Amino acid sequence: MCPFHFSPEKIMRPYFLQPCCAVLLLAFLGGCGVDTATTAAAVAKLKAEELKAAQQQKERAEKKLEELNQITQERLQNADTTETGNAP
């Protein structure tokens, strides 16, 4: 038999290549899934932080509005007492 003759038996000998390729393919695809999951977790964390910051900003705005309403009420009361005090 010629050493350069390739028979189907010689071509099929490396049985380990198919499982190795399958393992490598699964490793690459599994890595993509992990990357997607960590990205989604990071985005969710950022959204939660944004929501918390927005709620704090809303609370500060409401507090400021309450203070301004109180100041306006005091000014109206002072204006009423000044008008009634000066009236004949």
Mean pLDDT in consecutive groups of 10 residues from the start of the chain, 88 residues: 55 63 75 74 93 96 96 91 65
pLDDT at position 20: 73
Phi-psi region of 7 (alpha: psi -120 to 50; beta: other; left: phi over 0): beta
pLDDT at position 83: 72
pLDDT at position 70: 96
pLDDT at position 31: 67
Interacting residues of 32 by C-beta distance below 8 A, sequence separation 6+: none
Which H or E run contains 54? Answer: helix 17-86
pLDDT at position 44: 92
Domain ranges of the chain: 17-86
pLDDT at position 62: 96
Task: Report the alpha-carbon distance of residue 38 to residue 44 in Å, rounded.
Answer: 10
pLDDT at position 50: 95
pLDDT at position 15: 62
